[in-house]
Amino acid sequence: MTGAKGPRPRHIPQRTCIGCREAQGKRTLIRVVRTPEQRVIIDATGKANGRGAYLHANAACWEKALKGGTIKYALKITPVPEDVEALRAFANELPAEESEDV
């Protein structure tokens, strides 16, 4: 009989930022969703219906994803200009770089 090793560590889901391609815990990234109505929105809850993509909470990743068209490939849709402007406005409120204090 083998000894009990204690409870198993809790699994933390990993997702990849579409801006910098770095994998991180799902809860630390911001989810962007293509809704069934073919709109692109920011999903604060992480549970909205639709195809999702994840980005870090820094302006550099958002700018790279919006400028390079990465968001278009990840969500398999060309966002309408109003949605792109809403995403840019959100990105402008984010810090330029995330601190590496982890």
Query: Which tens digits make up the pLDDT trace of 9-63?
Result: 899 999 999 999 999 999 999 999 999 999 999 999 999 999 999 999 999 999 9
CATH architecture of 15-92: 2-Layer Sandwich (3.30)
- State the pTM of this model: 0.84
Question: Nearest CA to 35 among 88, 95, 83?
Answer: 83
What HEC string does 1-33 produce? CCCCCCCCCCCCCEEEECCCCCEEEHHHCEEEE
Domain residue ranges in the chain: 15-92
If one compares 1 and 14, the residue with the highest pLDDT of the two is 14
